[in-house]
Amino acid sequence: MIAAGQRAGVFTEGEHRMLQRLLRFRNRIVKETMVPRRNVVAVDVEADLDAAVDACLDHGATQLPVYEEVLDTVVGVVHILDPVQARDRDEGTTLRSVASEPYVVPETKAVDELLTESGAERSVWRSSSTSSGRPPGS
């Protein structure tokens, strides 16, 4: 039905993708869709820009969380293009200065609600928190 709507011009390609995601994650909460902590790839905020780019390339990612001291302390999200562009402009640029604010949501939030409210967000990386505000598993 969604595909027919797209073929008929009722939905744009972006709307089509969002509707498919909404149906796939209907009745699920964020906690059920999270990457297990042991599988999270992240970069230390003290790493240089090249290390962040290498980490993205090594893991086939366009974005990675940036942490300070321990993985539970996410201070930002870096997109692979941010350090590349910053490196070309200024050699003194730090990873902290190019990282975007993380988008933190409760782990009990409905995924379809999250996708609806953040559909226009450019960042696809999300962090969740328990009811006490701490990262899950910490």
Question: 62 lies in a domain?
Answer: yes
Q: From edge to edge, which strands make up the β-sheet containing 63-68? A: 43-44, 63-68, 70-79
Q: Does pLDDT of 120 surpass 50?
A: no
Q: 56-60, 68-72, 104-108, 131-135: lowest mean pLDDT where? A: 131-135
Confidence (pTM) = 0.69
How much is the pLDDT for 89?
78
Alpha-carbon distance of 122 to 22, in angstroms, equals 17
Residues 136/31, Cβ–Cβ less than 8 Å = yes
Q: Does pLDDT of 138 surpass 50?
A: no
Percent residues over pLDDT 70 in the chain: 76
**Is 76 in a helix, a strand, or coil?**
strand
Range of the domain at 48: 34-102
Total structural domains within the chain: 1
* pLDDT tens per residue across span 37-72: 889 999 999 999 999 999 999 999 999 999 999 988
DSSP H or E segment with residue 51: helix 49-59
The backbone torsions φ and ψ at residue 6, rounded to the nearest 5 degrees and listed phi first, read -70, -45
CATH of the domain at 95: 3.10.580.10
**74-86 average pLDDT score:** 90
Tracing tokens 């409760």 back to the chain, one arrives at 106
